């Protein structure tokens, strides 16, 4: 048997019967439980070097619908403590990117005096009470905290790190970076949320259920842009960036990138974000859009704005 993960996934998707797939997945689940039990028996190992990289099996369990009582309790508590320490800017073994914890534990970290009331109001979609707590926290933390509350998601940015609360599922993805964005509403919300400080940007949902992003640098410096477009990526000592390098980034993320300079000497750039729902994308084509992709695009936008203003 070819035990390469890609071959196994290909078999399950194309050839496996319901019975065969069920038996194989039960075997995988049993192996996961055995691994977690073995890891937790040695608490020093579980604390410092868990047997799954960065406790990703906790993410698998939580996203697949496990309850708190179904989790390896000591392991989960280590993750919650790490996120709490990271929030307080204390030293952690690693940055807990894309880590999932339950909503109640997340609220206890960020809103210790009001977390139970906030959990209740969010759970029952009582957004007026929720906004009161969030606004008080925002006023105390000023520029370090902002949020966007929508029907299905609550987006929080604290100290430049993004957290997404899934209101129906009652769990949170912490320090979002490489987690795929499979939901079109969430993709649009993240783009809108991260684009707040970029002037002359338009975010629009298309009829095809994708997201167009229009960006403009007004009255741009022609000489600066000419150098940006003509500079080769290997010669970046003075200019730091080049169009050759950045267009590679943009086309890697989007299949539809358009740009030009209009009659008013404004630089215009448009790209389209599509929702990729093929769960086997890592083997069949491009991976789904991630928050890191959106930030890479906006980093280019911010660079062009700042460079033409120099």
pLDDT tens column, 251-290: 888 889 998 888 887 888 999 998 765 444 444 445 678 9
What pLDDT is stored for residue 11 in this prediction? 78
- Spatial contact of 177 and 292, defined as CB atoms under 8 Å apart: yes
Can you tell me the distance from the alpha carbon of 190 to that of 216, in angstroms, rounded to the nearest whole number?
Answer: 20
Cα(310)–Cα(307) distance, rounded to whole angstroms? 5
Task: Give the chain's mean pLDDT.
Answer: 86
More confident residue, 219 or 169: 169
How far apart CA 217 and CA 122 sit, in angstroms, is 39
Q: Which range (10-14, 101-105, 183-187, 265-269) has the least confidence?
A: 10-14
Burial of 240 (0-12, 13-18, 19+ CB in 10 A): exposed
For residue 305, the model assigns a pLDDT of 80
* Of 98, 26, 88, 82, the residue nearest 50 (C-alpha): 82
CA neighbours closer than 13 Å in the CB half-sphere of residue 82: 23
Neighbours of 124 (CB within 10 A): 10
CA distance 76 to 53: 14
> Residue 40, Cβ neighbours under 10 Å: how many?
17
Query: In whole angstroms, how far apart are CA 273 and each of 150, 198, 251, 267?
Result: 20, 17, 11, 20
CA 152 to chain centre: 16
Q: Is the pLDDT of residue 72 over 70?
A: yes
Question: Taking residues 287-300, what's their average pLDDT?
Answer: 89
Residue from 214, 212, 215, 223 nearest 187 by CA:
212
CB within 8 Å of 235: residues ≥ 6 apart = 242
Question: Which domains are assigned to the chain?
Answer: 16-179 (no CATH), 187-309 (3.30.1460)
Q: Which of 134, 139, 140, 180 is nearest to 156 (CA)?
A: 134
């Amino acid at each position: 048997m070819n035990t390469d993960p890609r071959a196994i996934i290909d078999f399950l998707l194309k050839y496996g019967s319901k019975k065969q797939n069920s038996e194989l997945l039960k075997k995988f689940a049993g192996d996961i439980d055995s691994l977690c039990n073995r890891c937790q028996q040695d608490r020093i190992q579980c604390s410092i070097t868990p047997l799954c990289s960065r406790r990703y099996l906790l993410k698998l369990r939580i996203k697949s619908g496990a309850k708190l009582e179904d989790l390896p309790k000591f392991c989960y508590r280590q993750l919650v403590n790490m996120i709490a320490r990271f929030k307080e800017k204390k030293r952690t073994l690693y940055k807990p990117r894309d880590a999932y914890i339950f909503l109640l534990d997340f609220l206890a970290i960020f809103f210790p005096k009001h977390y139970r009331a906030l959990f209740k109001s969010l759970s029952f979609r009582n957004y007026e009470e929720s906004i009161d707590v969030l606004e008080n926290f925002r006023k105390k933390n000023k520029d370090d905290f902002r949020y966007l509350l929508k029907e299905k998601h609550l987006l929080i940015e604290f100290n430049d790190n993004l957290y997404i609360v899934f209101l129906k599922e009652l769990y949170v993805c912490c320090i979002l970076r490489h987690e795929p964005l499979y939901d079109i509403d969430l993709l649009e919300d993240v783009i809108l949320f991260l684009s707040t400080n970029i002037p002359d940007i338009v975010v629009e949902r298309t009829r095809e259920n994708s997201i167009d992003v229009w960006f403009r640098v007004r009255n741009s410096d022609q000489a600066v842009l000419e150098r940006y477009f003509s500079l080769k990526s290997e010669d970046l000592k003075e200019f730091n960036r080049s169009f050759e390098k950045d267009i590679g980034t943009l086309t890697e993320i989007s299949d539809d990138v358009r740009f030009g300079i209009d009659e008013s000497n404004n630089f215009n750039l448009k790209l389209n974000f599509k929702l990729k729902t093929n769960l086997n994308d890592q083997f069949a084509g491009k991976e789904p859009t991630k928050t890191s992709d959106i930030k890479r695009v906006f980093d280019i936008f911010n660079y062009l704005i700042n460079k033409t203003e120099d």
